[in-house]
Structure 1
Amino acid sequence: MNFDGQSIIVTGGGSGIGRATVLKFAELGGRVAVADVSLDAAREVSSLAGGGSIPLQVDVSDAAQVRAMVDETVAAFGGIDVLCNNAGFGFLGTVADIGEADWDRLMAVNVKGVYLCSKYSLPALARSGEGRIVNTSSYTAAVGIPNRAAYVASKGAVSALTRAMALDHVGQGIRVNAVAPGTVNSPYFNKIVGESADPQAVLEELNGRSPMHRMGEPEEIAAAIVWLASKESSFATGSVLTVDGGTSSW
């Protein structure tokens, strides 16, 4: 796989899966716009990625900020070849528990963010002649898990939107796919473990979700994202690639 000369946006690029994805693209020659709600995090990862990257601060739920992200990337790199819609978050709660404002905020980032980033990147992706979008969904979109109602609903929407966009834009030479990770050793889950009353028990529960008896590593998910963004996956569009250590097979 080679991304020499290609222009790439990774949202949520400041940590976790996004950070690993940025570094993998950079390793393979890509020029990466590291987009994150935290400018400090984006700058740190951009410095690690090297001179071919730029840090951008963006709230993906805000249309004006998303348009600015796209415009700055095109100005810096001359176009966009790959968009990775990775920004997202989750929290505990059933439908009965979740406050309306919390629900709306999660949907704004996890779902509206994919819509906005795709919408404003599509003209540049079409001009590239072989544009690619890779969305970050979740294995929970297919199987569900308890006490994560908003997150599961949002990722179900991401998987469905991936399939719809693949059909809508195939005629423009744009491929749209998604990766569906399992539980990943990331800052999000590290925070859950660290704030729990019994960190060891929570860690064992997270590791026990998969038949491999461990969490995935961000680099393992990044490898799947990069493959879907590469020419090696040229016949894949509308696919949701599950990388969950076998969790959804149980």
Structure 2
Amino acid sequence: MSGALAGRRILITGAAKGIGLATAERFVKEGARVAALDRDAKALAALAGRFQGDKLCTFEVDVSDLASVSATVADTAATLGGIDGVVSSAGIDLIADIEAMALADWNRIIAVNLTGPMLVAQAAYPHLKAAGGGTIVNVSSGAGLSPLKHRTAYCASKAGLQMAAKALAMEAAEFGIRVNTICPGAVETELFRTSIDTAPDPVAAYEAVRARYALQRVASPEEIAAAILWLTSAESSYVTGTAIAVDGGRTFH
């Protein structure tokens, strides 16, 4: 077996679509055994059908639910024989004026985008320690580095995720576990397309987004997966507690 992740056992949430899907596919190519976790059972089945043998297994999970996460992470560890790495890519968006945003909307965003990665990290932590160290990579957003209008809940959840990862990095270093965060800009995913296609003028909305980037284009999920791969591999062995903008020159900082 060869590749940057040869022999590694990696759990990926949000793995049925978008960045998570691209990451799962890339990690398998790099020699990892991957547990793909998602709420979408149909999409998971389609993903599983593309791989043979024990390269990839799938589990249905709700990352905002403690019981679901605890059971699924335990099943993942049993199936893979342990866990060497975690990628938390599951996430949802919300565009809403503050006056129109219901408390339930706020709570759901925080539950999935912030509490979810914490629950996954907490459940995987003993397995990472038992493996002698490992990696946790959280997929945040440039919106956690610089605010976006009408996205109060989303920005808060992503900024919170970055700081939580930095704090955990300090705690986990004792056990050889590295914790980092990726902050993408606009990425050509179903989530991104939903916000564009529901705009009054989708073409104008897309062009307005594209124009904000120095590279004058929207990223592909595979480009973000490449950055996640680097933070998961030994190539980044001296990197922990970082929040890296992968944003085509959007310069969210």
TM range, smaller chain = over 0.9
**Shift in Å, 1:147:** 1.1
**Shift in Å, 1:193:** 2.4
Structure whose residues are more often helix by fraction: 1
Given the alignment of the two structures, is residue 86 of structure 1 paired with residue 89 of structure 2, yes or no? yes
Alpha-carbon distance in 1 for matches of 2:213, 2:35: 33
Alpha-carbon distance in 2 for matches of 1:182, 1:68: 33
Alpha-carbon distance in 2 for matches of 1:249, 1:138: 9
Alignment of 1:114-193 (within 5 A): 114-193=117-196
Given the alignment of the two structures, is residue 45 of structure 1 paired with residue 57 of structure 2, yes or no? no
Alpha-carbon distance in 1 for matches of 2:199, 2:149: 17
Q: Work out the percentage of aligned pairs sharing the same amino acid.
A: 38
Q: What is the match of residue 229 of structure 2?
A: 226
2:20 alignment partner AA: G
Per-residue CA deviation, residues 75-108 of structure 1 (Å, 9 max, x unaligned), is 1110000100111111102333311001001100
Given the alignment of the two structures, is residue 210 of structure 1 paired with residue 217 of structure 2, yes or no? no
2:124 alignment partner AA: S
Contact 1:26 1:50 in 2 (8 A): no
**Shift in Å, 1:73:** 0.9
More displaced 10-residue stretch of structure 1: 119-128 or 44-53: 44-53
* Alignment RMSD: 1.3
**Shift in Å, 1:46:** 2.7
Q: What is the match of residue 116 of structure 2?
A: 113
2:14 alignment partner AA: G
Q: What is the match of residue 243 of structure 2?
A: 240
Alpha-carbon distance in 2 for matches of 1:50, 1:226: 22
Q: What is the match of residue 5 of structure 1?
A: 7
2:32 alignment partner AA: G
Unaligned runs of 5+ residues in structure 1 are none
Q: How many residues align?
A: 250
Alpha-carbon distance in 2 for matches of 1:99, 1:249: 28
Task: State the 4+ residue runs in structure 1 displaced beyond 6 angstroms.
Answer: none
**Shift in Å, 1:128:** 1.1
Alpha-carbon distance in 2 for matches of 1:161, 1:46: 32
Contact 2:143 2:252 in 1 (8 A): no
2:162 alignment partner AA: S
Alignment of 1:25-64 (within 5 A): 25-51=27-53, 52-64=55-67
More displaced 10-residue stretch of structure 1: 191-200 or 179-188: 191-200
Alpha-carbon distance in 1 for matches of 2:133, 2:171: 15
